[in-house]
């Protein structure tokens, strides 16, 4: 790695600290395109995390507001602010292309940024996030490794200690369990255990979540594994806009950051600004303002929630939807402001129920905003079982829009 460091130093035009985070762009691009219809969205100031279970029981849903069939063509959009009008200009990108653009901009901007992982070089990454980078930046900055997650993660952490800013790509997030010791005992703690002598500006990223019949070992959701490790910061992207913004902010951070990407969102399309921007790593996003109930979600479940919101609006409910984005730490200010307004909370996530993000979030809300609640906190998450390979069984383990509709109806019926 010393040779790599020397090669990078030789190409550096300037040295010094990485520039501070740029302010997020004020432009808003609310139109998203996915296979199924979803709501328009807008970026606002909000964050939160969630954890619960699809097997949570809320009793029989009230019947006085009609059936619980999910409406797919209703208009449920309610703009978060006056600035959410569609802006001219910008360019459309798929989510994986937005990640690529953000990473490329940082590689151009800072010669100490490098990428380490399996097939990240000439192959371009398993999901083509680094396509063409080896030819542009060279083999020293796009370092292909053998299948040895523990080794190359440790190597990247050592490189960060000497002044580089490595981006570690896990071909699948589940594979990073092989590097758990490096991530937990070294990446998260070395700044403290070295008495502040070292910073570890590492980004750990890659695809995860329940895909399309990828099997149990390729459907891992590791948020719950890493949330208790001191020193780690965790964010989850859900749109091309915040994917690029969070990627750039994570690379510039002096802290080790885990960026969770959902494998089923890579082909999500959105128009993003032409000008440079970053997204704050500690803020959530207000997807839809509302008055009746706060729904906290993140990653893929954002789109299950917005799909359910169409039906809820037709039934007369006004849900507020917050994409948590920052899984650690929680944006308790944004969460608190919403709870104080709606007095009801539903957490929706794809992770398993036991010991997860939603469990931690529910505890934090109970501790800080108990007197503002008019009903118990509802939680929906995947079942505590290995993800089945069979498609119908796989779908049964993950929260579906109908369950979200029923849960909101039950919570809003409580006095």
The model's pTM: 0.79
Fold of 32-80+282-413: Rossmann fold (3.40.50)
Query: Looking at domain 90-272, which of 3.30.465.10, 3.40.640.10, 3.40.50.970, 3.50.40.10 is its CATH number?
Result: 3.40.50.970
pLDDT of residue 203: 97
**Residue from 41, 218, 262, 304 carrying the catalytic annotation:** 218
Q: What is the C-alpha to C-alpha distance for residues 2 and 5, in angstroms, rounded to an integer?
A: 5
Is-same-fold flag (32-80+282-413; 90-272)? yes
Q: What is the C-alpha to C-alpha distance for residues 113 and 237, in angstroms, rounded to an integer?
A: 21
Task: List the domain boundaries for the chain.
Answer: 32-80+282-413, 90-272
Res. 160: pLDDT tops 80: yes
Give 223-272 pLDDT, tens digit per residue: 989 999 999 999 999 999 999 999 999 999 999 999 999 999 999 999 99
Q: In the predicted model, what is the mean pLDDT of the chain?
A: 81
**Residue from 97, 104, 106, 149 carrying the catalytic annotation:** 149
The helix (H) or strand (E) run that includes residue 199 is none
User: b vs e for 17-28, b when ≥16 Cβ sit within 10 Å of the residue's Cβ?
Assistant: ebeeeeebbebb
Give 289-344 pLDDT, tens digit per residue: 999 999 999 999 999 999 999 999 999 999 999 999 999 999 999 999 999 999 99
92 is catalytic: no
Res. 413: pLDDT tops 70: yes
Res. 196: pLDDT tops 90: yes
304 is catalytic: no
Give 23-46 pLDDT, tens digit per residue: 333 333 333 433 332 222 323 333
Query: How much is the average pLDDT of 111-127?
Result: 93
The helix (H) or strand (E) run that includes residue 91 is strand 91-94
As given in the structure block, the two tokens for residue 337 are: 């402001």
pLDDT of residue 385: 85
- Tell me what percent of the residues of the chain surpass a pLDDT of 90: 65
Res. 6: pLDDT tops 70: no
Cα 113 versus chain centre, distance: 22
Q: Which SS3 state, helix, strand or coil, does residue 381 take?
A: strand
The helix (H) or strand (E) run that includes residue 270 is strand 269-272
């Amino acid at each position: 790695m010393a040779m790599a460091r020397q090669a990078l130093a030789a190409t550096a035009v300037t040295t010094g600290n990485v520039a501070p985070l740029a302010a997020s762009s004020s432009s808003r691009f609310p139109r998203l395109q996915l296979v199924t219809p979803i709501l328009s969205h807008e970026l606002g100031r909000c964050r939160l995390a969630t954890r619960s279970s699809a097997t949570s029981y809320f009793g029989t849903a009230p019947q006085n507001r009609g059936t619980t069939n999910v409406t797919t063509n209703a208009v449920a959009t309610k703009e978060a602010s006056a600035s959410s009008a569609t802006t001219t200009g910008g360019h459309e990108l798929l989510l994986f292309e937005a990640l690529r653009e953000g990473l490329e901009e940082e590689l151009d901007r800072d010669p100490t940024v490098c990428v380490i992982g399996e097939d990240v070089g000439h192959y371009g990454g398993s999901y083509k996030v680094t396509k063409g980078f080896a030819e542009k930046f060279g083999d020293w900055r796009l370092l292909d490794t053998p299948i040895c997650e523990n080794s190359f993660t440790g190597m990247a952490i050592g490189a960060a200690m000497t002044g580089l800013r490595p981006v570690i790509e896990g071909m699948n997030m589940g594979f990073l369990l092989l590097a758990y010791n490096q991530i937990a005992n070294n990446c998260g703690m070395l700044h403290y255990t070295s008495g502040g002598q070292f910073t570890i500006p590492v980004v750990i990223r890659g695809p995860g979540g329940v895909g399309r019949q990828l099997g149990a070992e390729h459907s891992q959701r590791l948020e719950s594994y890493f949330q208790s490790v001191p020193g780690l910061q965790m964010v989850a992207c859900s749109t091309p806009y915040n994917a690029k913004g969070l990627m750039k902010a994570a690379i510039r951070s002096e802290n080790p950051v885990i960026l969770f990407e959902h494998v089923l969102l890579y082909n999500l399309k959105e128009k993003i600004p032409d000008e440079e921007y970053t997204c704050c790593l500690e803020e959530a996003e207000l997807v839809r303002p509302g008055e009746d109930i706060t729904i906290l979600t993140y990653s893929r479940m954002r789109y299950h929630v917005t799909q359910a919101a169409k039906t809820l609006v037709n039934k007369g409910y006004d849900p507020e939807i917050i994409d948590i984005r920052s899984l650690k730490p929680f944006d308790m200010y944004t969460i608190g402001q919403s709870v104080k307004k709606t007095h009801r909370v539903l957490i929706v996530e794809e992770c398993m129920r036991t010991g997860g993000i939603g469990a931690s979030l529910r505890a934090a809300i109970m501790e800080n905003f108990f007197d503002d609640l008019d009903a118990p906190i509802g939680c929906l998450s995947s079942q505590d079982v290995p993800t089945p390979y069979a498609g119908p069984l796989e779908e049964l383990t993950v929260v579906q829009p109908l369950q979200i509709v029923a849960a909101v109806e039950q919570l809003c019926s409580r006095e």
